[in-house]
């Protein structure tokens, strides 16, 4: 199966009622361990990268590494650039080889978000690149209003028009979710998810999935959410593996050894997320 278009993976997930783990990565090991988990479970997975880390790792290196690894495995792997908040960043992702990019104009007024997303989609179509957009404010988990203020959630009627006007391939929505650690346990708006799924023609994306209670994640899958972004918990799993390895004295004075020692813990973390997102036990 190898490298597969993100929109095709998400369409398949929507039709077969499972969720796709979209794992944020930062280097070779984080990409490799996520892909190995997907191959073990025999389900599709999306590897993605946040462009805010481009000073640490250039976009072209991440895209090349992820695409190359994807070509060598037996399960469908998508490669995606997460949260490009400008035209230039999104187009740089296209230039640097990402088969899918997100353009995030959600902090802009509606009409400006439409214009930005439409402009990126126009360029992306030339190169056969998929586009994820966002409507509604998916803010910070450390800001209580971003979690509980329903006026910041995605408007269903607006979402229908937004997808039609922009031609985006997937839509990230705000339904009580937020990025990073949560100051308060989130309570997803399931009625809104169901209404969005019934009204919108493209797959739906849930950002900020780290630390959302498992029962809420399962319900979101069953209501038709297709892509689940996971970053905070994955990096936390890596850190805690390093910490345990050092405290237990299993590796000393060896950074490479730490990365290698984290392999099983990080694979296990992604496997658990894949299984959580697959309540109906789909398998290729």
Each residue's pLDDT tens digit, 41-56: 999 999 999 999 999 9
Of 8, 55, 68, 82, the catalytic one is 82
Overall residue count recorded for the chain in this entry: 284
Is the pLDDT assigned to residue 250 strictly greater than 90?
no
* Mean predicted confidence (pLDDT) in 92-104: 98
CB 56 within 8 A of CB 26: yes
* Mean predicted confidence (pLDDT) in 162-182: 97
Res 249: pLDDT: 87
Phi, psi (5° rounding) for residue 199? -95, -30
* Mean predicted confidence (pLDDT) in 141-161: 94
> Confidence band (pLDDT; 50, 70, 90) for 266?
very high
CB 9 within 8 A of CB 43: no
> Confidence band (pLDDT; 50, 70, 90) for 281?
confident
> Confidence band (pLDDT; 50, 70, 90) for 180?
very high
Res 1: pLDDT: 56
State whether the Cα torsion 5-7-11-16 is positive or negative: positive
Residue 130 belongs to what H/E stretch? strand 130-135
Active site residue 82: yes
Res 152: pLDDT: 93
> Confidence band (pLDDT; 50, 70, 90) for 6?
very high
Joined together, the tokens standing for residue 30 give 């984080």
CB 68 within 8 A of CB 35: no
For the CA atoms of 90, 169, 267, 60, the dihedral, rounded to the nearest 10 degrees, stands at -30
Res 137: pLDDT: 86
State whether the Cα torsion 165-168-170-176 is positive or negative: negative
Res 70: pLDDT: 97
Res 206: pLDDT: 98
DSSP string, 207-274: ---TT--HHHHHHHHHTTEEEEEE-HHHHHHHHHHHHHHHHTTSS-S-HHHHHHHTHHHHHHHHHHHH
- For 202-242, how does the pLDDT look when each residue is reduced to its tens digit (9 = 90+)? 999 999 999 999 999 999 999 999 999 999 999 999 999 99
- For 103-143, how does the pLDDT look when each residue is reduced to its tens digit (9 = 90+)? 999 999 999 999 999 999 999 999 999 999 999 989 999 99
Task: Reduce the DSSP state of residue 81 to 3 states and report it.
Answer: strand
């Amino acid at each position: 199966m190898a490298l597969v278009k993100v929109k095709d993976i998400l369409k398949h997930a929507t039709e077969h009622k499972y969720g796709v783990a979209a794992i944020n990565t930062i280097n070779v090991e984080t990409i490799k361990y996520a892909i190995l988990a997907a191959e073990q479970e025999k389900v599709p997975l999306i590897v993605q990268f946040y462009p805010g880390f481009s000073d640490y790792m250039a976009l072209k290196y991440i895209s090349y590494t992820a695409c190359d690894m994807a070509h060598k495995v037996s399960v469908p792997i998508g490669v995606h650039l997460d949260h490009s908040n400008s035209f230039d960043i999104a187009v740089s992702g296209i230039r640097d080889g990402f088969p899918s990019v997100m353009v995030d104009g959600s902090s802009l007024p509606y009409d400006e978000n439409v214009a930005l997303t439409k402009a990126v989609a126009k360029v992306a179509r030339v190169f056969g690149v998929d586009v994820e957009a966002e409507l509604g404010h998916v803010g910070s988990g450390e800001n209580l209003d971003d979690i509980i203020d329903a006026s910041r959630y995605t408007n269903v009627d607006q979402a229908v028009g937004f997808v039609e006007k922009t031609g985006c391939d997937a839509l990230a929505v705000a339904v009580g979710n937020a990025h990073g650690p949560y100051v308060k346990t989130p309570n997803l708006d399931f009625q809104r998810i169901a209404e969005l799924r019934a009204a919108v023609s493209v797959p739906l994306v849930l950002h900020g999935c780290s630390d959302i209670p498992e029962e809420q994640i399962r319900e979101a899958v069953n209501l038709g959410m297709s892509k689940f972004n996971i970053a905070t918990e994955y990096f936390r799993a890596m850190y805690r593996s390093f910490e345990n390895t050092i405290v237990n004295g299993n590796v000393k004075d060896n950074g490479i050894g730490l990365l290698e020692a984290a392999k099983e813990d990080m694979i296990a973390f992604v496997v658990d997320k894949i299984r959580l997102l697959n309540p109906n036990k789909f398998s290729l």
